[in-house]
Amino acid sequence: MRAIDKVEVELSVVLGRTNMPIQQLLRLGRGAVIMLDESENEQVEIVVNNAPFACGQVIVRDQQVCVEIVRPVGADGEPLES
């Protein structure tokens, strides 16, 4: 096994974003619904170590929520040429 195979990275999927006043944030509790700036069918941002990596599509496969990579992006968040 190569050394690079053991390197761990943090991978996040950003479903959407929103802004809200701190007072509203502090009132959030269990079951609260936070409205995001994206619709359910829009592509999501895949981030690796806080840097844009790809755009993806949320899918459900065998009762698991998954993200399918649609296209890679560069460090600037712009799509890479294929």
Q: Which domain holds residue 53?
A: 3-72
20 pLDDT exceeds 80?
Answer: yes
Cα angle vertex 80, ends 74, 82, to 5°? 155
1 pLDDT exceeds 90?
Answer: no
Query: CATH number for the domain including 48?
Result: 2.30.330.10
Residue 61 lies in a domain: yes
The arithmetic mean of pLDDT across residues 45-69, rounded, is 93
**pLDDT at res. 39:** 84
Cα angle vertex 72, ends 70, 3, to 5°? 120
How many domains does the chain divide into?
1
Residue 33 lies in a domain: yes
Residue 79 lies in a domain: no
